[in-house]
Structure 1
Amino acid sequence: MLGFIGIAVIFVMVFGGYTVAGGKMGIILHALPYEMAMIAGAAVGAFLISNDGATVKATLRDVKRVFKGAAWKTDDYRDLLCLLFELVRVARANPIALEEHIENPAASSLFGKYPKIQKDHETVDLICDTLRAASMNYDDPHQVEEVLDKRMEANAHHAQASSHALQAMADALPALGIVAAVLGVIKTMSSIDQPPEILGGMIGGALVGTFLGVFLAYGFVGPFAVRLKALAEEDSHFYGLIREVLVANLHAHPANICIEVGRQNTPHHLRPGFNDLDTALRGLKEAA
């Protein structure tokens, strides 16, 4: 919702201020299709040249997230803590029984309770790989923590590929706007014999290119890139919670303490309430 409101504010304030000050939209509207075709077309071409197919697809997919927000909500963090609690309890009570859950999470009754988490391959792989490593006596907490840090660093870099691609486009747009403006000036100079009022309109149309390049860069593409970066960083806390809980488990803390460590290391605006989580965990214990 905030994304749509922001776009509306940009258009109203920029073009509203222009028209209130006495500016004429006719010149802009006349030049807009041609200037937009040159600038946006060149920007898309440069975007395709500078990125591979996977990044292009990821960027097109991630643009929707500017309006949808982060992938993981407070309820998802609570569900993740509940899932980890159950897995830790099974791992300590019966390590052999744990294998059926971490070797085939798609058919696991524990993962099946939380379908949104079960569908996220990175979350499932991170949990299963870490628990599998612990079952193979790869249980040095500091070593596991180092491995998890490197893995999450790589994941964070991959998650921000869309943001980097859009930021590169934003950086290029003002220059592409100048290119369009220069072409407009060349066109104007070829009609130097025309009356001043016609030349003025042609020069104004050429300057629309510069305006569009800057407007698109700082009004849309740049903010989109910043927002995607912020969303990637926010979603990374979800994987950080897994790291905190499973490392605490390797230190042999009680299961409740492991979960509380994860809860406390969750950002405040996403952190499940203690009583809410405690009620959920009690329900899991009674169901068991």
Structure 2
Amino acid sequence: MPLITYTLDSAIESFFSEEGTSASRAECDAFARRRYGAAALLVAVQGSSSYTVIAGSESDKIIQFRKSGSPLTESMLKLAKAVHGDLVPSCLHLGWIGDPNGSRLYIYEMNRLPRGNYITARSRLSLFAEPWQWFTTGGHEASDISTIKSDCEARFKHLAATLPDRFLPVITEVQQAIPSLFIGSYAMVLFHGDLNETNILVDTHTITGIIDWAEASMQPFGFALYALENCLGSMGPDGWKWFDDVDDLRNAFWKRFIELTGLSETQRQLAELAGKAGIILRYGIAYNAGFLGMLGV
């Protein structure tokens, strides 16, 4: 599998050249300049569905232009803010930019969270287990659990029919666990949906922010644990490679997590199955053999 090298220029060029973007980079930068009276400064790591700038060197505001197919949902942002407080940026929808008859971009104003993306700092950081509880806990009783369960079952039915046969034992294991994951005694929590190294902001061993909540939803606890696995290895030109001390790191996470939450052994087993479900759902739809190697198959 070829190694894809990220560059800021190529990420921005790709965003504005793809279908679904009727506004230009110059138009977006001009909007920020008019609103704040200063030239827009680029954020070092850009998302695939958004273009993000800082509103001037002295500003505490971020301006983000998002594709119409990837809006931020107000209700989910409010829930994320209620659960995680200052780790989630405040957000104000400012309207749209681009051709009214084409694919306009949503415009959002957010407060600027401190420090940088985990992906730019991971080489000098070690995994610290305790902060993971901040974004894997929370819940919302008003969620329609039966609808979420049906959607989950449909996704795994699709994956069972489309992924190579060697993945079927893992998919079957998760399918058998789905009823237990959606019973009232197992926690339904706020699920980020795209919890990766570019959306986690860190300072030394401290998480300072979680950004890009466009794919947030309610799911059984543990679906976000693919993010833990992301921190225990890295993807290179030869595929996925675990760190040498991966077992010690994973055990340290679970030891500390159980100390903090009082999780029973049964709940832990379900959480680990939910973690497998999260990996399959995240990487299985757009099949990638390297990442699904996390499952050991």
TM-score range for the pair, normalised by the shorter chain length:
under 0.3
| Greater relative contact order, per chain length (Cα 8 Å cut-off, separation 6+) | 1
Larger Rg: 1
**Going by fraction, where is helix more abundant, 1 or 2?**
1
TM-score by length of 2: 0.22
**Going by fraction, where is strand more abundant, 1 or 2?**
2
